[in-house]
């Protein structure tokens, strides 16, 4: 049973329910895998082996007694370090919260525990979810399991790398402008950004409240579907939660490709040739199977990056104001003066990228600049929402590459923030519009690095995305996750 870590989510679920192995045997296999390989990947900030094995043992006893909490009882799941777990440090990979122990569970965590999932915290991330490479963590840089000289994407890079390295079969991340989809693409796995409001944000430490969504990452599509069905649904603790029931996993059935209207983009110079080739090859195959390809004009969406960064940084400036060394966060008090306490606590507690975004957001919200920047960005956001409504009057789904490139080298873009921001050029508009999108692995480039396809659907129609993913599973099966970490 030592190689159980190789199994996909679906195989693990089936094996546990058939009694082929126990949650304890599964957990021991994954723990051994993590202990052997995470020193190369650095997916986890802290690895709580004893707690994991204790939870697995409790699940094993429940199953032996015929009292399993659900068909998911005993399945391990990685948790990003900005999703609260009661009694566990939730640092958001930041020094300012390095000793913050959450006094409560996030709603998504509560729902998972109620089904018997075994939590494996704390997956590394860009500090306060601000980054596209997981190089902005205050503690360590996570590496890509396909090539440890490269980044795994961000900000949910720890969660994505943990799944791709077979440390966990499924994980939770958060997506503000592509932070689940982009690392899923670069790590060769599935990653969903749900419709805004379908998954509770209660217990997710906020970066940009109108954009953030918790989303699952998985080795296979069934892991995404199952976890989304569990964590979705109305939550009275979250005012932005839609009054809707949880998604029913049984609705996720393969789509009929014949007659399916697919919106496609024109390949630009920003898209790497290998990524463009994989994208166009898939489109050709879909067309041969009867799908109708529709050219869409994405010129308005090309403005998404500046719109996104004005809105996101403004909201981050507001949300992070509470971390002042008094109400929340590590306290630095060099002189006993209030102003010095604020300056020292925030200067030492926040990293450079977080400071940069706070300053940008504070500027765009300041008197004399609010209307010129934040006000105009919100009006432009409304235009983007209407643009998507126009698209979906013509097509059923929109297909684009998730990322314009495959995984780049560690340190390659850290000196140029603008180039780093452009890594999200194809993903940010989805968050601005509040619609669902998922990254699906569809191949590899000439270096063997994964390529992801972003599938976007109208709001609340995750069912279409899941169905499409099931219909092209043969393409996704081309991407083999690495067993040996180099």
Query: What does 253-285 look like in DSSP terms, one character per residue?
Result: -PPP-TT-EEEE----TTS-HHHHHHHHHHHHH
Instruction: Indicate the SS3 state at residue 172.
Output: strand
Q: Compute the half-sphere exposure of residue 410: CA atoms within 13 Å on the CB side of its CA.
A: 17
Instruction: Give residue-wise pLDDT tens across range 118-170.
Output: 999 999 999 999 999 999 999 999 999 999 999 999 999 999 999 999 999 99
Question: Strand pairing of 261-264 and 397-401?
Answer: parallel
Quote the pLDDT of residue 334: 79
**Active-site position among 55, 132, 137, 155:** 155
Helices (H), 42-137: 49-64, 107-114
Tokens of 401: 């590459």
Side-chain-side CA neighbours of residue 209 (13 Å): 12
- Secondary structure (3-state) at 397: strand
Cα separation of 197 and 187, whole Å? 27
Classify residue 89 by burial, with Cβ atoms within 10 Å: 0-12, 13-18, 19+.
middle
Record the tokens describing residue 211, joined without a space. 């954009």
- If one counts every other C-beta atom within 10 angstroms of the C-beta of residue 355, the result is 15
**How many residues would you count in the chain?**
486
Residue-level pLDDT at 341: 82
Q: Which of 91, 102, 179, 304 is catalytic?
A: 179
Residue 67, Cβ density class (10 Å: 0-12 exposed, 13-18 middle, ≥19 buried): exposed
Instruction: Give me the catalytic one of 13, 42, 80, 464.
Output: 80
Count of beta carbons in the 10 Å neighbourhood of residue 50: 8
CA distance 135 to 156: 11
pLDDT, averaged per 10 consecutive residues of the chain (486 residues), comes to 92 98 98 98 95 98 98 98 97 95 97 98 97 97 98 98 98 98 98 98 97 98 98 98 97 97 94 97 97 96 94 96 83 80 85 95 92 94 97 98 97 87 92 98 97 98 98 92 92
Decide: 390 and 339 in contact? Cβ < 8 Å. no
- Residue 81 in contact with residue 127, Cβ under 8 Å? no
User: Which range marks the domain in which residue 119 is found?
Assistant: 1-486
At residue 471, φ and ψ (nearest 5 deg) are -75, -20
438's tokens: 């998922």
Smallest CA-to-CA distance from 463 within 284, 248, 269, 307 is with 248
Please give the pLDDT value at position 339.
82
Helices (H), 115-211: 157-164, 181-186
CATH number at residue 27: 3.90.1300.10
pLDDT tens digits, one per residue of 351-373: 999 999 999 999 999 988 999 99
Please indicate whether residue 195 is annotated as part of the active site. no
- Whole-angstrom distance, CA of residue 153 vs CA of residue 112: 25
pLDDT of residue 325: 81
Question: How much is the pLDDT for 409?
Answer: 97
Count of domains forming the chain = 1
**All residues at 6 or more sequence positions from 66 whose CB lies less than 8 Å from its CB, including other chains:** none
Q: Is the peptide bond before 131 cis (omega within 30 degrees of 0)?
A: no
For position 1, what pLDDT does the model report? 65
Q: Residue 266 catalytic?
A: no
Q: How far apart are the first and last CA of the chain?
A: 24
Active site residue 155: yes
């Amino acid at each position: 049973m030592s190689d159980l870590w190789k199994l996909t989510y679906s195989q693990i679920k089936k094996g546990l329910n058939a009694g082929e192995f126990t949650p304890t045997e599964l957990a021991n296999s994954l723990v051994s895998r993590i202990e052997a390989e995470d020193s190369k990947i650095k997916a986890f900030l802290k690895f709580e082996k004893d707690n994991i094995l204790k939870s697995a043992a409790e699940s094993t006893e429940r199953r032996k007694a015929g009292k399993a909490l659900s068909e998911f009882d005993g399945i391990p799941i990685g948790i990003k370090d900005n999703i609260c777990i009661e009694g566990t440090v939730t640092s958001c990979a930041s020094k300012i919260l390095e000793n913050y122990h959450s006094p409560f569970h996030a709603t998504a965590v509560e729902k998972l525990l109620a089904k018997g999932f075994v939590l494996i915290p704390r997956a590394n991330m860009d500090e306060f979810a601000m980054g596209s490479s997981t190089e902005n963590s205050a503690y360590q840089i996570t590496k890509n399991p396909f090539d440890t000289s490269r980044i795994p994407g961000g900000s949910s890079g720890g969660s994505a790398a943990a799944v791709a390295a077979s440390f966990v079969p499924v994980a939770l991340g958060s997506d503000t402008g592509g932070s689940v989809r982009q690392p899923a693409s670069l790590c060769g796995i599935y990653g969903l950004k749900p419709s805004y409001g379908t998954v509770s944000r209660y217990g997710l430490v906020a970066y940009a409240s109108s954009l953030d969504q918790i989303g699952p990452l998985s080795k296979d599509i069934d892991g995404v579907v199952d976890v989304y069905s569990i964590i979705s649904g109305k939550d009275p603790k979250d005012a932005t939660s839609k009054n809707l029931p949880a998604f029913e996993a049984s609705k996720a059935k393969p789509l009929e490709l014949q007659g399916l209207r697919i919106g496609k983009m024109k390949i630009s110079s920003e898209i790497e040739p290998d990524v463009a080739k994989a994208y166009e090859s898939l489109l050709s195959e879909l067309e041969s199977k009867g799908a109708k390809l529709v050219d869409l004009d994405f010129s308005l969406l090309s403005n998404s990056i500046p719109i996104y960064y004005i809105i996101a940084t403004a909201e981050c400036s507001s949300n992070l104001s509470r971390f002042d060394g008094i109400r929340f966060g590590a306290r630095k008090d060099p002189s006993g003066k209030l102003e010095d306490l604020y300056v020292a606590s925030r200067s030492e507690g926040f990293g450079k990228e977080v400071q940069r975004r706070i300053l940008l957001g504070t500027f765009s919200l300041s008197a004399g600049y609010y209307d010129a920047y934040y006000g105009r960005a919100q009006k432009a956001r409304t235009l983007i929402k209407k643009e998507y409504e126009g698209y979906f009057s013509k097509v059923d789904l929109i297909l684009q590459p998730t990322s314009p490139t495959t995984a780049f080298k560690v340190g390659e873009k850290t000196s140029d923030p603008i180039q780093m921001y452009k890594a999200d050029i194809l993903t940010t508009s989805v968050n601005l519009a509040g619609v669902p999108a998922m990254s699906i692995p569809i191949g590899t480039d000439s270096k063997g690095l994964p390529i992801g396809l972003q599938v976007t659907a109208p709001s609340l129609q995750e069912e279409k995305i899941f169905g499409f993913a099931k219909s092209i599973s043969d393409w996704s099966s081309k991407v083999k996750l690495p067993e040996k970490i180099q």
